[in-house]
Amino acid sequence: MLDMLGVGATARTVYGVMQQYPGAGVEELAGLTDLSEVQVRAALDELVALELLRHSRERDGALVPVPMAVALPGLVRRQEEELAARERAIAASRAAATRLIAEQVTPGPATRPAGGATSSTEHLLGADAVQDRLDQLVAGATSEVISLVPGNAVPEESLQAAKAADSVTLGRGVTCRIVYQDAVRNHAPTLAYGRWLAEHGAQVRTTAVLPQRLLIADRCAAIVPIDPDQPWAGRVHTTDPGIVHQLVALFEQVWVGASPLDHARPLEARTGLTNVERALLQLLAGGTTDEVAAKQLGISARTVRRIMADLMARLDADSRFEAGIKAAKNGWL
């Protein structure tokens, strides 16, 4: 019990012996505890500070143990005061860190290209530069972080690295909304991470096709890939209000059509199609190849062919051309 209340091991030993031998002095206590006199004196100082010992009223200069029932409330109160002080210190540190992060994230003086126009757009080249800016934006967000995450899986090392930052952000009460592709439902680590986010206050949805990778912080700063095919090679970071406004509108459009992660894959009531099946039909009807469709849906070309084979069977079609005609006739396109 005493160890939980902050009493050191040596002090606990001395206190226990003094309860049995209340009149023992420093030399005797050292012999009874196998401690040095220096250790005993340090333990006595600690016990006095914790109000577990008091000066004797009978023997001048002697110390006697305070009964446990009397001492415990004081120890508990002391711990409560120390905890409150630590919480105040943590709050002050968090506020200072938030100010510092905000100062670092706030764009510096805008660069002025030819013609004198002010630019608030920056190119970030390389995975490290991209990750640093993403971390800064998420850590510095005060109200909202929204993001689109294409692909069928997020690398497990990236998920682990993101968890600590996401815990802090969600813990600060920042609203987080994320849209993954439906394909992540087939990747256990990413699916588990999405559920972890949802359990900790984030809103997570999925949809069949995502237009691009996107992160927006506080509706005032956004990051998108320079080349969507190589998102980690470089990103564009912009605080241009017009651009950010359009990107927010894009996110909201995707968000409305996405399904909550904790729901089963939704089926259209009229057609019985999943989001992926309808999106695949639309892509192939537009002349997209299996490989390109697979990339846009975050699935493999083999999965594309399997889904098409199933759709052809359901449509009772002997060819993709016939399937397209029947799909259009049935209102599937």
User: What are the average pLDDT values for consecutive 10-residue runs of the chain, which has 333 residues?
Assistant: 72 82 80 85 83 75 75 73 70 57 46 47 83 82 89 75 78 88 82 87 86 89 84 84 88 85 62 74 77 77 81 79 76 71
- Per-residue pLDDT, 267: 55
- Per-residue pLDDT, 96: 59
| Structural contact between residues 305 and 284, judged by C-beta atoms closer than 8 angstroms | no
CA 134 to CA 64: how far, in whole Å?
Answer: 61
Whole-prediction pTM: 0.54
CA distances in angstroms from 247 to 238, 241, 260, listed in the order given: 11, 10, 21
- Per-residue pLDDT, 315: 78
- Per-residue pLDDT, 219: 92
- Per-residue pLDDT, 5: 62
Helix (H, G, I), strand (E, B) or coil at 33: helix
- Per-residue pLDDT, 311: 80
Sign of CA dihedral 137, 233, 303, 252: positive
* CB proximity list for 166: less than 8 A, separation 6 or greater: 138, 176, 197, 200, 202
Burial profile 84-113: b = 16 or more Cβ within 10 angstroms, e = fewer: eeeeeeeeeeeeeeeeebeeebeeeeeeee
- Per-residue pLDDT, 117: 43
- Per-residue pLDDT, 100: 52
List of E strands, 52-167: 53-55, 63-65, 121-125, 144-149
Domains of the chain: 1-104 (1.10.10.10), 121-260 (3.30.870.10), 275-329 (1.10.10.10)
DSSP letter string, 239-260: --HHHHHHHHHHHHHHHHH-EE
- Per-residue pLDDT, 270: 61
